[in-house]
Amino acid sequence: MLLKEYRICMPLTVEEYRIGQLYMISKHSHEQSDRGEGVEVVQNEPYEDPAHGQGQFTEKRVYLNSKLPSWARAVVPKIFYVTEKAWNYYPYTITEYTCSFLPKFSIHIETKYEDNKGCNDNIFDTELKEQEREVCYIDIAYDEIPERYYKESEDLRYFKSEKTSRGILQEGWRDTQEPIMCSYKLVTVKFEVWGLQTRVEQFVHKVVRDVLLLGHRQAFAWVDEWIDMTMDEVREFERTIQEATNQKIGIFPPSISISETPLSSCALTGPASAPSTPMCTDAPESLSVPKDRPRKKSAPETLTLPDPVPSGVPQGSNVSPLPVSNHLQSSTPPSSHSDIAEMDEQ
């Protein structure tokens, strides 16, 4: 297990970012999706939680085979996705990532938002329970971003908001900026496989850091697009863009419903940090394997072989065949992983 705490400051208030976060996640997911890969929204429903109050539960599938390093693509199926489940009790959220193909892999993220410069060293005291963790500050303006994600319009060293007059962010902007808020994220990565654990956990944290940097940069770079939105307007934008994203990656489920009815109490329990959060995890009926499907057999029940011709019997003589009963089934089932991803480098 590798535990790190990320602190990302933004020139916004916590109340403003409530809208900006929803807008950014939806637009970012749409931009990063392409046919066959990206973010599919499976569920997006409101709910009530006794401890945290009213919130929103979302479940997504993140298809990302081409984004894996070559050593990882060599051992995963070509159709590969990670399941994301998120419980948004803003300004407190919980996000979990799992993969059925890798049962010993998981990412757990707890997030808290506060109106400060990232100076609260005790914000996760209850959750940490004396655990050691590395604290990493992310500067949305001056930290290096992967070249493939760079856009000049999102370079906060040169961006100034027309509607809020915030920016340009100069060196040391976190010491002088008003307003300012901080996104505190406690990220736990687990990959309990001997020989690969350290390598995988370090790689995943690098990916997480890049995603956090890009997402928070975009949240401020797009501020003029969402700053005037109401919660109802951003929820409608969210619904529309989610349907468009599902179609973009080639998935056509029924229309997404962001209803006003909380999830039913019969749903499964949420993570330990949100003990009464409901969630639904049953596989859709279309993915269920029919129970009465007959098993394929590799040979007929009865195999008839000609009796060897005895020596001395002239060829062409009539010899009665001998029935041979064969009840053996094939011992080698069809491979479920015959389609392995190519090992080309990123």
For residue range 101-114, what is the model confidence (pLDDT) as tens digits? 788 899 999 999 99
Q: How confident is the model at residue 54 (pLDDT cuts 50, 70, 90)?
A: very high
Nearest to 36 by CA among 58, 62, 60: 62
- Bigger pLDDT: 314 or 82? 82
For residue 137 the two structure tokens come to: 């500050």
Q: Give backbone dihedrals phi and psi of 31, rounded to 5 degrees, phi first.
A: -65, -35
- Residue 324 scores a pLDDT above 60: no
For residue 331 the two structure tokens come to: 């011992």
For residue 42 the two structure tokens come to: 């499976």
pTM: 0.71
CB-CB contact of 246 with 41 (8 Å): yes
pLDDT tens for each residue of 157-216? 999 999 999 999 999 999 999 999 999 999 999 999 889 899 999 999 999 999 999 999
- Residue 153 scores a pLDDT above 50: yes
- Cβ atoms within 10 A of the Cβ of 23, count? 23
High-pLDDT (> 70) share of the chain, %? 65
Q: What is the mean pLDDT of residues 132-160?
A: 94
User: DSSP alpha helices (H): ranges in 110-194?
Assistant: 125-128, 173-176
Q: How far apart are CA 57 and CA 44, in angstroms?
A: 6
* pLDDT recorded at residue 40: 84
- Residue 325 scores a pLDDT above 80: no
- What does the CA dihedral 81, 82, 83, 85 come to, rounded to 10 degrees? -140
Q: How many residues can be counted in the chain? A: 346
